Amino acid sequence: MASETIKVTVDTVALAIEQGALEVLLVKRKYEPYKSLWALPGGSLDEIDETLDQAAARELLEETNVGGVYLEQLYTFGDKGRDPRGRTVTAAYLALLRQEGLELKAGSKARGVAWWKVNELPELAFDHADIISYARQRVKYKLEYSPAAFMLLPEKFTLRDLQSVYEAVLGKAVDNRNFRKKFLNTGVLQELSETSQEGSFRPARLYTFSLEEFEKLPDRPVFMF
Amino acid sequence: MASETIKVTVDTVALAIEQGALEVLLVKRKYEPYKSLWALPGGSLDEIDETLDQAAARELLEETNVGGVYLEQLYTFGDKGRDPRGRTVTAAYLALLRQEGLELKAGSKARGVAWWKVNELPELAFDHADIISYARQRVKYKLEYSPAAFMLLPEKFTLRDLQSVYEAVLGKAVDNRNFRKKFLNTGVLQELSETSQEGSFRPARLYTFSLEEFEKLPDRPVFMF
DNA sequence: ACAAAAGTGTTGCTACTACACCCATGA
DNA sequence: TCATGGGTGTAGTAGCAACACTTTTGT
Confidence band of B4 (pLDDT split at 50, 70, 90):
low
* Single residue among A143, A167, A187 that ends a domain in this structure: A143
Domain boundary pick from B90, B118, B143: B143
- CATH of residue A137's domain is 3.90.79.10
Domain membership flag for residue B121:
yes
Which chain B residue shows the shortest CA-CA distance from A56?
B78
Q: Which of A187, A182, A189 is nearest to A208 (CA)?
A: A189
Range of B201's domain? 153-215
3-class DSSP assignment, residue A149: helix
Within-domain flag for A55: yes
Q: Are residues A62 and A109 in the same domain?
A: yes
Higher pLDDT, A11 or A46: A11
Render pLDDT for B9-18 as a digit per residue (tens, 0 to 9). 999 999 999 9
Res. A194: pLDDT tops 60 = yes
Closest CA to A109 of A184, A225, A31: A31
Tell the burial category of A207 from Cβ atoms under 10 Å away from its Cβ (0-12, 13-18, 19+). Answer: buried
Q: Does residue A222 approach strand C to less than 7 Å at its CB?
A: yes
- Spell out which residues of chain A touch residue B56, defining contact as CB-CB under 8 Å: none
| % of chain A residues with pLDDT over 90 | 90
Burial degree of B166 (CB within 10 A; 0-12, 13-18, 19+): buried
Do B24 and B119 belong together in one domain? yes
A48 with A123, same domain: the answer is: yes
Strand C interface, B 174-193, C-beta < 7 A: 176-178, 180-181
Considering the domain architecture, whether residues A205 and A109 belong to the same structural domain is answered as no
Q: What's the rounded mean pLDDT across residues A117-143?
A: 97
Model confidence at B3, in pLDDT bands (50, 70, 90)?
very low
Residues of B in contact with A222 (CB under 8 A): 222
Tell me the average pLDDT across A185-207.
Answer: 95
If residue A73 lies in a helix (H) or strand (E), which one and from where to where? strand A70-77
pLDDT at A1 over 90: no
Task: Indicate whether B133 and B158 sit together in one domain.
Answer: no
Q: Mean pLDDT in chain B?
A: 94
> Is residue A61 in a domain?
yes
Whether residue B98 sits in one domain with residue B60: yes
Residue A190 within any structural domain of the chain = yes
Residue B140 has pLDDT above 60, yes or no: yes
Distance CA B143, CA B140 (A): 5
- As a residue count, chain A comes to 225
Question: What integer pLDDT is reported at residue B222 of this predicted model?
Answer: 79
Which residues of chain A (165-184) touch nucleic strand D at CB < 7 A?
Answer: 176-178, 180-181
Mean pLDDT score, B141-152: 95
Q: What is the pLDDT of residue A218?
A: 76
Cis peptide preceding A84, ω within 30 of 0? no
Task: Specify whether A138 is located in the same domain as A182.
Answer: no
Indicate whether A144 pLDDT > 80: yes
- Round to whole Å and give the CA distance between A157 and A170: 19
* Per-residue pLDDT at A2 exceeds 60: no
Q: Does residue A39 sit in the same domain as residue A123? A: yes
Q: Name, in order, each residue with C-beta under 8 angstroms of B57's C-beta and a sequence gap of 6 or more.
A: B67, B69, B71
Strand D: which bases are under 7 Å from protein Cβ?
A: 3-10, 16-20, 23-27
Q: Quick one: average pLDDT of B91-108?
A: 97
Do the Cβ atoms of A220 and B144 come within 8 Å? yes
pLDDT of amino acid A4: 66
Mean pLDDT of B44-54: 87
Cα-trace Rg, chain A: 19
B82 and B162 share a domain? no
Q: What is the pLDDT of residue B84?
A: 95
Question: With an 8 Å Cβ cutoff, are B89 and A91 in contact?
Answer: yes
Based on the fold, state whether residues B107 and B186 are members of the same structural domain. no
Q: How many residues does chain B have?
A: 225
Q: How many domains does chain A have?
A: 2
Q: How far apart are CA A189 and CA B172, in angstroms?
A: 31
Give this prediction's pTM.
0.94
Cα–Cα–Cα angle for B47, B48, B51, rounded to 5 degrees: 90
The CATH number of the domain holding residue B178 is 1.10.10.10
* Average pLDDT score over chain A: 94
Q: Which of A143, A163, A189 is the last residue of a domain?
A: A143
With b for 16 or more beta-carbon neighbours within 10 A and e for fewer, the A185-204 pattern comes to: ebebbeeeeeeeeeeeeeee
In this structure, are A92 and A188 located in the same domain? no
